[in-house]
Amino acid sequence: MNPTTDFVPFAKPSLGAEEEAAVLEVMRSGWLTTGKVALEFEKEFASFAGVPRALAVNSATSGLHLALEALKIGPGDVVVTSPYTFTSTAAVARHLGAEVAFCDVGKDGYDMDPSSLADRLATTRNCRAVMPVHVGGLPCDMDRILPMAKKYGCAVVEDAAHSFPSRLPSGLAGTLGDVGVYSFYVTKTITTGEGGMIVAKDDRLLSRMATMRMHGIDRAVWDRYTSKGASWKYGVIDAGFKYNLPDLLAAIGRAQLRKADRFLAERVAIARAYDEAFADRDYLALPPRGAGHAWHLYALRIVPGKLSIDRDAFIERLAALGVGSSVHFIPLHVMPYWSERYALKPGDFPNALETYERTVSLPAFQGMTGAQVERVVEAVVSVGDSARMAGKR
């Protein structure tokens, strides 16, 4: 094995002839930005998700921002989420002048802990929305979170950036709350390079988001340059954003969507292979599991007290053996901005801190070869076994 030439990256998009042909078609069509292809992508996505309508946007961050704006969240309001997420989940509340309150994740887990949420809701005034994050593709406990949010009059905005196409008996994760937002960032299960999709229970919310997605313009105007019948006239009814998804990217999304179930099956198979390989290593804790896991991430945890090295050294040694990895997430409450704004200390969310300090996300992407999976397993076991402290196995 040559660690340089045989490097296994942490993530790699799975793009083929279908995506290439679809992009070429758009390039040759004379219409590059949002138009018919994005509309088709929305319809196909909605049909896949089992909802009447979906809105394509240029990122999940934009989608989350639009969602909170449509819910009229602003100064004086509070949004509750867990710190175990990417900064944009919380930042969009700040963009609107609202404040963020955090609750912890479950012990040895990555998702919002419903009991900690209950405590936070009981002690937070003016809470308007709860944002559960389906970290790594494992859906949060929505059966407990939804009624709790309702009890306190809060909307539920699911950050489903990681969870497509996770299915629960009650529906696709992301379609269970008031609004759900998916990401098509380049590491996600289906990608458009950058992009996202929004779904919502109330069509009026979606209509508001459609307007604000496109400068606050009162009607769809994308065909005004190309259609003989379309009018050049439009009205601006609010100070909107520029969050539309261009056809060039939507074309990739359509091709990816057709492969989504196959991609999921591949990810599940990789997770199973890792589970099997690591089950007897007691210095490793397998990722939490549950119904509808989309396995966007395979996030292992290092068991305390078993190894002579910490997580950072573990990652360095994996890299030296030619295996890329990552950490999801550095929790927000230890980030300078969030800790300073809300005077938070690392120990305020002990579960999030503990998980962060021990976690490592391994390569798990569709298109990964059996040999690559094997390489990752060998590297993890070799780093772990060689760092195992005597008498600790």
Ligand X SMILES: Cc1ncc(COP(=O)(O)O)c(C=O)c1O
Please report whether residue 185 would count as binding ligand X according to CB under 6 A. yes
C-beta closer to ligand X: residue 162 or 281: 162
Provide the token pair at 301.
């945890």
Cis amide leading into 336 (omega within 30): no
Please work out the total of residues on this chain that contact ligand X, with binding judged by CB under 6 A. Answer: 14
Mask 189-228, x = binds ligand X (CB under 6 A)?
-------x--------------------------------
The DSSP element (H or E) to which 83 belongs, if any, is none
Task: Using CB under 6 A, pick the residue from 79, 148, 149, 161 that binds ligand X.
Answer: 161
Q: List, in sequence order, every beta strand (DSSP E) within 322-368.
A: 359-362
Candidates 90-98, 156-164, 203-211, 299-307: pick the segment binding ligand X (CB under 6 A): 156-164
Q: Is 392 designated active site?
A: no
Beta-carbon contacts of residue 340 (< 8 Å; ≥ 6 apart): none
Task: Using CB under 6 A, pick the residue from 31, 41, 86, 102 that binds ligand X.
Answer: 86
Q: Tell me if 169 sits within 8 A of 140, measured CB to CB.
A: no
Cis amide leading into 241 (omega within 30): no
Please report whether residue 183 would count as binding ligand X according to CB under 6 A. yes
Candidates 85-93, 223-231, 316-324, 370-378: pick the segment binding ligand X (CB under 6 A): 85-93
Beta-carbon contacts of residue 367 (< 8 Å; ≥ 6 apart): 12, 14, 266
Mask 116-155, x = binds ligand X (CB under 6 A)?
-----------------x----------------------
Question: What is the number of alpha carbons within 13 Å of residue 214 lying toward its C-beta?
Answer: 20
Candidates 10-18, 82-90, 287-295, 380-388: pick the segment binding ligand X (CB under 6 A): 82-90
Task: Using CB under 6 A, pick the residue from 34, 81, 82, 85 that binds ligand X.
Answer: 85
Beta-carbon contacts of residue 371 (< 8 Å; ≥ 6 apart): none
How open is the CA angle 129-134-136, to the nearest 5 degrees? 150
> Which residues are at the interface with ligand X (CB under 6 A)?
59-61, 85-86, 88-89, 133, 159, 161-162, 183, 185, 196
